[in-house]
Copies of this chain bind each other. A is one copy, B any other.
Amino acid sequence: GSPLANGKLHLHSSVKRKLADEKGYVFDKRLRYNVRQNESNCRFRDIVVRKEEGFTHVLLSSQTTDNNALTPEIMKEVCRALGNAAADDSKLLLLSSVGTVFCSGLEPSYLIGRLSTDRRKESSRIAEAVRDFVLAFIHFKKPIVVAINGPALGLGASILPLCDVVWASERAWFQTPCAALHLTPSGCSSYTFPQILGVALANEMLFCGRKLTAQEACSRGLISQVFWPTTFNQEVMLRVKEMASCSAVVLEESKCLVRSILIPILEEVNEKECQMLKQLWCSTKGLEALFSYLQNKTHEK
């Protein structure tokens, strides 16, 4: 299962077509097709799941959104993949992305579309999807390695401290512009970011939308190593395979020792964060702020 050969298949959406032209695009589309045929019990639309020797590889590869943005449906697919990986014989999970963007967070146009139709019902439904998505990471017992090939934004950045080993390509950068988007922190970042980055930098990210380069994120502890883009996948695979040669019991028990003390705190924080998001989405003001942000973004293009 080498992910390094370039795919040349017919692509279903125009969004995906441009990704294939990218130099950095290293995932073989043919493999996805095979995986889907072979694993009839785990069909996914916006992620790809590959069983490797000793580990499960989950790749964000959204067909329904640009830039691997998240919708409740995509988050549910990730939850399902994590559930499967928890039960199978893999020792750890590798999470990465197809394309040039790791994950751009919640899809704003989806949010607006849904919240405009039925604010009360949809704000609950989306907040619950976020809550369950984050809980799936909090409760996953095997180590999660994340390989970040490009920008990680919003929820795509804030879940990183819930994973165990986080490596990034030099091309990655990190941003959680919640306040500007009229959003409050999510993914437990209100707790994990101050813990890791210090209160001052965490708040500058959450309140002022401060962008961190891969090197900055590394020197401040959000990630633990930065690799050169051209060899990023090889470097990650080499290390993941070595890690997968360790004892499954030792890996799971070590993670348990590191995490178990934090789980009740993270559960509480996640609950509070999602409650607050629901409240904001339920309010007229919140919706207006999202609208005006999206319009500004369109004008910038």
| Residue positions of A touching B, CB distance < 8 A | 143, 160-161, 163-166, 178-180, 182-185, 190-192, 194-204, 206-208, 210, 219-225, 239, 242-243, 246-247, 249-251, 253-255, 257-258, 260-261, 265, 268-269, 272-273, 276, 280, 285, 289
Residue on B with the closest CB to A183? B250
User: Distance (Å) between the CB of A96 and the closest chain B CB?
Assistant: 15
* A184 and B222 contacting across the interface, CB-CB below 8 Å: no
- Excluding A164-B203, A207-B251, A261-B265, 6 further A-B contacts by CB distance (< 8 Å) are A161-B198, A165-B208, A178-B254, A203-B258, A210-B224, A261-B269
Residue on B with the closest CB to A92? B207
Contact of A253 among B180, B184, B197 (CB under 8 A): B184
Residues of B within 8 A of A165 (CB): 200, 203-204, 207-208
User: How many monomers of this protein are in the complex?
Assistant: 3
User: Distance (Å) between the CB of A116 and the closest chain B CB?
Assistant: 19
User: Distance (Å) between the CB of A238 and the closest chain B CB?
Assistant: 11
Whether A207 touches B247, Cβ cut-off 8 Å, given contacts A166-B200, A221-B198, is no
Complex Cα–Cα for A261 and B198 (A) = 15
* A207 and B243 contacting across the interface, CB-CB below 8 Å: yes
Residues of B within 8 A of A246 (CB): 179-180, 182, 207
